[in-house]
Amino acid sequence: MTDNVQMLDADHCWKAVAARDRAADGSFFYAVKRPGVYCRPSCPSRLPLRKNVSFFATVEAAEAAGFRACLRCRPRALAGSDPAAAAMTELSRYIEVHADEELPLTRLAEHAGLSPFHLQRAFKAIIGVTPKAFQTAARLKRLKSNLRAGDGVAGAIFEAGFGSTSRAYERIDGHFGMTPGAYRAGGRGETIAYACRQTALGAIMMAATARGVCFVQFGDTEARLLDQLRGEFPSATLEPSTSANSPQLDAWIDALDRHLSDGAPHPDVPLDLRGTAFQIRVWRFLLSVPSGDVVSYSEVAAGIGSPKAVRAAASACAANRIAVLVPCHRVLRGDGALGGYRWGPERKRAIIDSERQLRVAV
Protein backbone atom coordinates (compact mmCIF):
# COMPACT_ATOMS: atom_id res chain seq x y z
CA MET A 1 0.00 0.00 0.00
CA THR A 2 1.34 3.46 -0.86
CA ASP A 3 0.63 6.40 1.42
CA ASN A 4 -0.93 9.37 -0.28
CA VAL A 5 1.47 12.02 1.00
CA GLN A 6 5.21 11.54 0.73
CA MET A 7 5.95 13.78 3.72
CA LEU A 8 4.20 11.41 6.12
CA ASP A 9 6.35 8.75 7.76
CA ALA A 10 4.13 5.67 7.65
CA ASP A 11 5.99 3.84 10.42
CA HIS A 12 5.85 6.85 12.70
CA CYS A 13 2.15 7.36 11.96
CA TRP A 14 1.33 3.72 12.63
CA LYS A 15 3.13 3.80 16.00
CA ALA A 16 1.05 6.83 16.97
CA VAL A 17 -2.17 5.07 15.92
CA ALA A 18 -1.24 1.88 17.81
CA ALA A 19 -0.52 3.98 20.92
CA ARG A 20 -3.65 6.12 20.42
CA ASP A 21 -1.39 9.11 20.90
CA ARG A 22 -3.46 12.26 21.54
CA ALA A 23 -0.38 14.40 20.90
CA ALA A 24 -0.47 13.28 17.25
CA ASP A 25 -4.05 14.43 16.71
CA GLY A 26 -4.16 17.00 13.93
CA SER A 27 -0.74 16.11 12.49
CA PHE A 28 -2.25 13.42 10.27
CA PHE A 29 -5.33 11.21 9.84
CA TYR A 30 -5.58 7.49 9.21
CA ALA A 31 -8.17 5.74 7.07
CA VAL A 32 -9.40 2.15 7.15
CA LYS A 33 -10.58 0.39 3.98
CA ARG A 34 -13.45 -1.24 5.81
CA PRO A 35 -15.71 0.38 6.96
CA GLY A 36 -14.33 3.20 4.81
CA VAL A 37 -13.80 5.82 7.49
CA TYR A 38 -10.94 8.08 8.49
CA CYS A 39 -9.99 8.88 12.09
CA ARG A 40 -7.72 10.92 14.30
CA PRO A 41 -4.72 8.95 15.74
CA SER A 42 -6.25 8.75 19.22
CA CYS A 43 -9.55 7.22 18.04
CA PRO A 44 -10.73 4.66 20.64
CA SER A 45 -12.10 2.32 17.97
CA ARG A 46 -10.67 -1.19 17.70
CA LEU A 47 -7.17 -1.15 16.19
CA PRO A 48 -7.38 -2.10 12.48
CA LEU A 49 -4.95 -4.33 10.60
CA ARG A 50 -1.96 -2.38 9.37
CA LYS A 51 -2.44 -3.60 5.81
CA ASN A 52 -5.90 -1.95 5.70
CA VAL A 53 -4.67 1.48 6.83
CA SER A 54 -3.53 4.51 4.85
CA PHE A 55 -2.49 7.95 6.09
CA PHE A 56 -3.51 11.44 5.05
CA ALA A 57 -2.19 14.86 5.95
CA THR A 58 -5.62 16.54 5.85
CA VAL A 59 -9.30 15.66 6.16
CA GLU A 60 -9.81 17.00 2.63
CA ALA A 61 -7.30 14.49 1.28
CA ALA A 62 -8.99 11.63 3.11
CA GLU A 63 -12.42 12.63 1.81
CA ALA A 64 -11.11 13.09 -1.72
CA ALA A 65 -9.97 9.46 -1.54
CA GLY A 66 -13.54 8.42 -0.74
CA PHE A 67 -13.41 8.04 3.05
CA ARG A 68 -15.96 9.51 5.46
CA ALA A 69 -15.36 10.99 8.92
CA CYS A 70 -15.54 8.63 11.91
CA LEU A 71 -18.55 9.31 14.13
CA ARG A 72 -16.65 8.27 17.26
CA CYS A 73 -13.58 10.52 17.15
CA ARG A 74 -14.99 13.24 14.84
CA PRO A 75 -11.73 14.14 13.06
CA ARG A 76 -13.29 17.14 11.34
CA ALA A 77 -13.48 18.89 14.71
CA LEU A 78 -9.69 19.22 14.56
CA ALA A 79 -10.02 21.10 11.29
CA GLY A 80 -12.59 23.45 12.79
CA SER A 81 -15.38 22.20 10.54
CA ASP A 82 -17.44 19.42 12.05
CA PRO A 83 -20.81 19.14 10.29
CA ALA A 84 -22.03 16.56 12.81
CA ALA A 85 -21.27 18.87 15.73
CA ALA A 86 -23.01 21.77 14.00
CA ALA A 87 -26.05 19.61 13.24
CA MET A 88 -26.34 18.33 16.82
CA THR A 89 -25.87 21.82 18.23
CA GLU A 90 -28.71 23.06 16.00
CA LEU A 91 -30.85 20.12 17.11
CA SER A 92 -30.17 20.89 20.77
CA ARG A 93 -31.48 24.42 20.18
CA TYR A 94 -34.56 22.94 18.49
CA ILE A 95 -35.18 20.74 21.54
CA GLU A 96 -34.83 23.73 23.86
CA VAL A 97 -37.42 25.72 21.88
CA HIS A 98 -39.86 22.77 21.75
CA ALA A 99 -39.04 21.31 25.18
CA ASP A 100 -42.68 21.42 26.29
CA GLU A 101 -43.80 19.25 23.34
CA GLU A 102 -43.63 15.52 22.74
CA LEU A 103 -40.35 14.91 20.91
CA PRO A 104 -40.09 11.24 19.95
CA LEU A 105 -36.81 10.15 18.43
CA THR A 106 -38.50 9.74 15.04
CA ARG A 107 -39.51 13.42 14.98
CA LEU A 108 -35.99 14.55 15.94
CA ALA A 109 -34.44 12.22 13.38
CA GLU A 110 -36.67 13.62 10.64
CA HIS A 111 -35.70 17.16 11.65
CA ALA A 112 -31.99 16.29 11.54
CA GLY A 113 -32.23 14.21 8.36
CA LEU A 114 -30.82 11.11 10.03
CA SER A 115 -32.09 7.70 11.01
CA PRO A 116 -33.21 7.40 14.66
CA PHE A 117 -30.26 5.09 15.37
CA HIS A 118 -27.64 7.47 13.97
CA LEU A 119 -29.35 10.48 15.53
CA GLN A 120 -29.25 8.89 19.00
CA ARG A 121 -25.61 7.88 18.67
CA ALA A 122 -24.40 11.19 17.21
CA PHE A 123 -26.31 13.34 19.71
CA LYS A 124 -24.97 11.46 22.73
CA ALA A 125 -21.43 11.45 21.37
CA ILE A 126 -21.39 15.20 20.71
CA ILE A 127 -23.72 16.69 23.34
CA GLY A 128 -22.90 14.16 26.05
CA VAL A 129 -26.42 12.99 26.89
CA THR A 130 -29.31 11.40 24.99
CA PRO A 131 -31.91 13.64 23.32
CA LYS A 132 -34.44 12.53 25.95
CA ALA A 133 -32.13 13.48 28.83
CA PHE A 134 -31.37 16.82 27.13
CA GLN A 135 -35.10 17.56 26.78
CA THR A 136 -35.67 16.73 30.45
CA ALA A 137 -32.90 19.15 31.41
CA ALA A 138 -34.43 21.82 29.15
CA ARG A 139 -37.82 21.30 30.79
CA LEU A 140 -36.27 21.62 34.24
CA LYS A 141 -34.55 24.82 33.15
CA ARG A 142 -37.89 26.18 31.92
CA LEU A 143 -39.60 25.06 35.13
CA LYS A 144 -36.95 26.86 37.15
CA SER A 145 -37.48 30.04 35.11
CA ASN A 146 -41.28 29.84 35.49
CA LEU A 147 -41.03 29.37 39.24
CA ARG A 148 -38.66 32.30 39.63
CA ALA A 149 -41.10 34.43 37.60
CA GLY A 150 -43.72 33.71 40.25
CA ASP A 151 -45.87 31.14 38.44
CA GLY A 152 -47.84 28.69 40.55
CA VAL A 153 -46.13 25.33 41.05
CA ALA A 154 -48.74 23.26 39.18
CA GLY A 155 -48.99 25.71 36.29
CA ALA A 156 -45.21 26.03 36.00
CA ILE A 157 -44.85 22.25 35.90
CA PHE A 158 -47.36 21.81 33.07
CA GLU A 159 -46.07 24.82 31.11
CA ALA A 160 -42.58 23.31 31.24
CA GLY A 161 -43.94 20.23 29.48
CA PHE A 162 -44.25 17.72 32.31
CA GLY A 163 -47.44 15.72 31.99
CA SER A 164 -48.00 15.52 35.72
CA THR A 165 -46.63 16.89 38.97
CA SER A 166 -45.41 13.44 39.98
CA ARG A 167 -43.33 13.19 36.80
CA ALA A 168 -41.72 16.55 37.52
CA TYR A 169 -40.92 15.63 41.12
CA GLU A 170 -39.24 12.43 39.91
CA ARG A 171 -36.74 14.53 38.00
CA ILE A 172 -35.95 17.43 40.32
CA ASP A 173 -33.46 15.67 42.58
CA GLY A 174 -30.05 17.25 42.15
CA HIS A 175 -31.38 20.15 40.09
CA PHE A 176 -32.96 22.44 42.67
CA GLY A 177 -31.59 21.24 46.00
CA MET A 178 -35.11 21.94 47.31
CA THR A 179 -38.73 21.35 46.31
CA PRO A 180 -40.27 23.36 43.44
CA GLY A 181 -42.42 25.16 45.97
CA ALA A 182 -39.39 26.25 47.97
CA TYR A 183 -37.59 27.29 44.80
CA ARG A 184 -40.59 29.32 43.64
CA ALA A 185 -40.37 31.11 46.99
CA GLY A 186 -36.79 32.05 46.15
CA GLY A 187 -35.39 29.67 48.72
CA ARG A 188 -37.89 30.62 51.41
CA GLY A 189 -37.38 28.34 54.35
CA GLU A 190 -33.77 27.71 53.28
CA THR A 191 -31.09 29.06 55.60
CA ILE A 192 -27.78 29.86 53.97
CA ALA A 193 -24.80 31.03 55.98
CA TYR A 194 -22.09 33.02 54.23
CA ALA A 195 -18.63 34.38 54.97
CA CYS A 196 -16.19 36.55 53.07
CA ARG A 197 -12.40 36.84 53.24
CA GLN A 198 -9.75 38.91 51.51
CA THR A 199 -7.27 36.43 50.08
CA ALA A 200 -4.09 36.70 48.04
CA LEU A 201 -6.31 36.36 44.96
CA GLY A 202 -8.91 38.93 46.02
CA ALA A 203 -12.22 38.86 47.87
CA ILE A 204 -13.91 35.47 48.07
CA MET A 205 -17.30 34.50 49.48
CA MET A 206 -18.37 31.05 50.63
CA ALA A 207 -21.96 30.08 51.42
CA ALA A 208 -23.40 26.82 52.70
CA THR A 209 -26.68 25.08 53.39
CA ALA A 210 -27.11 22.32 55.92
CA ARG A 211 -25.92 19.91 53.21
CA GLY A 212 -22.61 21.63 52.51
CA VAL A 213 -20.98 24.44 50.53
CA CYS A 214 -23.19 25.61 47.65
CA PHE A 215 -21.44 28.82 46.59
CA VAL A 216 -17.80 29.96 46.35
CA GLN A 217 -17.11 33.02 44.21
CA PHE A 218 -14.32 35.53 43.69
CA GLY A 219 -15.38 39.16 43.33
CA ASP A 220 -14.42 42.79 43.70
CA THR A 221 -16.23 43.48 46.96
CA GLU A 222 -18.23 41.66 49.61
CA ALA A 223 -21.30 43.71 48.67
CA ARG A 224 -21.22 42.51 45.06
CA LEU A 225 -20.67 38.93 46.12
CA LEU A 226 -23.63 39.14 48.47
CA ASP A 227 -25.76 40.49 45.60
CA GLN A 228 -24.83 37.41 43.54
CA LEU A 229 -25.86 35.12 46.38
CA ARG A 230 -29.16 36.96 46.82
CA GLY A 231 -29.79 36.69 43.08
CA GLU A 232 -29.76 32.90 43.31
CA PHE A 233 -31.80 32.69 46.51
CA PRO A 234 -33.75 35.96 46.80
CA SER A 235 -36.06 34.76 49.57
CA ALA A 236 -33.70 32.53 51.53
CA THR A 237 -32.55 33.51 54.97
CA LEU A 238 -28.96 34.65 54.51
CA GLU A 239 -26.92 34.74 57.66
CA PRO A 240 -23.40 36.13 58.00
CA SER A 241 -21.18 33.50 59.51
CA THR A 242 -19.71 33.89 62.93
CA SER A 243 -17.80 31.44 65.05
CA ALA A 244 -20.90 31.24 67.26
CA ASN A 245 -23.73 30.60 64.78
CA SER A 246 -21.89 28.69 62.04
CA PRO A 247 -18.50 27.52 63.30
CA GLN A 248 -18.07 24.97 60.51
CA LEU A 249 -18.43 27.48 57.68
CA ASP A 250 -16.13 29.88 59.49
CA ALA A 251 -13.51 27.13 59.71
CA TRP A 252 -14.02 26.10 56.06
CA ILE A 253 -13.45 29.57 54.61
CA ASP A 254 -10.46 30.09 56.88
CA ALA A 255 -8.99 26.85 55.52
CA LEU A 256 -9.66 28.00 51.96
CA ASP A 257 -8.05 31.38 52.72
CA ARG A 258 -4.93 29.63 54.07
CA HIS A 259 -4.83 27.46 50.95
CA LEU A 260 -4.98 30.48 48.63
CA SER A 261 -2.87 32.92 50.65
CA ASP A 262 -0.33 30.74 52.47
CA GLY A 263 -0.08 27.57 50.38
CA ALA A 264 -1.79 25.35 52.94
CA PRO A 265 -3.26 22.01 51.74
CA HIS A 266 -6.48 22.03 49.72
CA PRO A 267 -9.41 21.95 52.21
CA ASP A 268 -11.68 18.92 52.26
CA VAL A 269 -15.24 20.12 52.93
CA PRO A 270 -18.75 18.78 52.17
CA LEU A 271 -20.34 20.18 49.02
CA ASP A 272 -23.97 20.81 48.07
CA LEU A 273 -23.64 20.35 44.30
CA ARG A 274 -26.55 21.71 42.27
CA GLY A 275 -26.65 21.13 38.53
CA THR A 276 -27.68 18.73 35.81
CA ALA A 277 -26.74 15.07 36.09
CA PHE A 278 -24.05 15.56 33.43
CA GLN A 279 -22.59 18.62 35.18
CA ILE A 280 -22.42 16.80 38.49
CA ARG A 281 -20.61 13.88 36.81
CA VAL A 282 -18.02 16.34 35.50
CA TRP A 283 -17.66 18.12 38.85
CA ARG A 284 -17.24 14.86 40.72
CA PHE A 285 -14.55 13.81 38.26
CA LEU A 286 -12.74 17.11 38.85
CA LEU A 287 -12.78 16.37 42.58
CA SER A 288 -10.77 13.21 41.83
CA VAL A 289 -7.96 15.09 40.05
CA PRO A 290 -5.02 15.32 42.50
CA SER A 291 -3.87 18.74 43.62
CA GLY A 292 -1.03 19.92 41.41
CA ASP A 293 -2.11 17.80 38.45
CA VAL A 294 -3.86 19.06 35.32
CA VAL A 295 -6.05 17.34 32.73
CA SER A 296 -7.46 18.27 29.34
CA TYR A 297 -11.12 18.66 28.48
CA SER A 298 -10.81 15.47 26.42
CA GLU A 299 -9.54 13.62 29.49
CA VAL A 300 -12.44 14.94 31.54
CA ALA A 301 -14.92 13.68 28.95
CA ALA A 302 -13.20 10.28 28.83
CA GLY A 303 -13.04 10.15 32.62
CA ILE A 304 -16.83 10.38 32.95
CA GLY A 305 -17.40 7.74 30.29
CA SER A 306 -18.42 10.15 27.49
CA PRO A 307 -15.21 10.56 25.47
CA LYS A 308 -16.89 12.46 22.64
CA ALA A 309 -18.62 14.99 24.88
CA VAL A 310 -15.63 17.32 25.05
CA ARG A 311 -17.62 20.50 24.43
CA ALA A 312 -20.25 19.51 26.96
CA ALA A 313 -17.51 18.81 29.52
CA ALA A 314 -16.02 22.25 28.87
CA SER A 315 -19.46 23.83 29.34
CA ALA A 316 -19.90 22.00 32.64
CA CYS A 317 -16.55 23.36 33.82
CA ALA A 318 -17.67 26.86 32.86
CA ALA A 319 -20.94 26.40 34.78
CA ASN A 320 -19.13 25.51 38.02
CA ARG A 321 -20.11 27.98 40.77
CA ILE A 322 -17.89 26.57 43.51
CA ALA A 323 -14.45 28.01 42.84
CA VAL A 324 -11.32 26.11 43.89
CA LEU A 325 -13.21 23.51 45.94
CA VAL A 326 -14.52 22.05 42.67
CA PRO A 327 -11.18 22.42 40.87
CA CYS A 328 -12.10 23.36 37.32
CA HIS A 329 -8.86 25.37 37.32
CA ARG A 330 -7.05 22.04 36.84
CA VAL A 331 -8.46 21.65 33.31
CA LEU A 332 -6.34 22.95 30.41
CA ARG A 333 -6.89 23.01 26.67
CA GLY A 334 -5.78 20.02 24.64
CA ASP A 335 -2.69 21.90 23.39
CA GLY A 336 -1.61 22.65 26.97
CA ALA A 337 -2.73 26.29 26.89
CA LEU A 338 -4.32 27.72 30.01
CA GLY A 339 -7.82 28.09 28.55
CA GLY A 340 -10.68 30.04 30.10
CA TYR A 341 -11.64 30.52 33.73
CA ARG A 342 -14.73 32.36 34.92
CA TRP A 343 -12.71 34.11 37.62
CA GLY A 344 -9.88 35.17 35.29
CA PRO A 345 -6.83 33.42 33.78
CA GLU A 346 -4.47 35.14 36.21
CA ARG A 347 -6.21 33.47 39.16
CA LYS A 348 -6.22 30.14 37.32
CA ARG A 349 -2.47 30.28 36.73
CA ALA A 350 -1.79 31.40 40.31
CA ILE A 351 -3.83 28.54 41.82
CA ILE A 352 -2.19 25.91 39.59
CA ASP A 353 1.30 27.23 40.39
CA SER A 354 0.55 27.29 44.12
CA GLU A 355 -0.73 23.70 44.09
CA ARG A 356 2.29 22.50 42.15
CA GLN A 357 4.69 24.21 44.56
CA LEU A 358 2.86 22.64 47.49
CA ARG A 359 3.13 19.16 45.94
CA VAL A 360 6.89 19.63 45.38
CA ALA A 361 7.33 20.81 48.97
CA VAL A 362 5.49 17.76 50.29
Q: Which residues are catalytic?
A: 39, 328
Q: Are strands 29-32 and 53-56 parallel, antiparallel or unpaired?
A: antiparallel
- Cα separation, 42 vs 70, in Å, equals 12
Sequence-ordered alpha helix ranges (H) in the chain: 10-18, 59-64, 83-97, 105-112, 116-127, 131-148, 153-159, 165-170, 180-184, 222-232, 247-262, 277-287, 297-303, 310-318, 345-361
Neighbour tally for 99: CB within 10 Å: 20
Q: Which are the contacts of 228, defined by CB distance < 8 A and separation ≥ 6?
A: 205, 217, 219
Contacts by 303-310, CB closer than 8 A, 24 or more apart = 306/124, 306/125, 306/128, 306/278, 307/44, 308/72, 308/73, 308/74, 308/124, 308/125, 308/126, 308/128, 309/124, 309/125, 309/126, 309/127, 309/128, 309/129, 309/278
The closest of 134, 142, 146, 149 to 278, measured between CA atoms, is 134
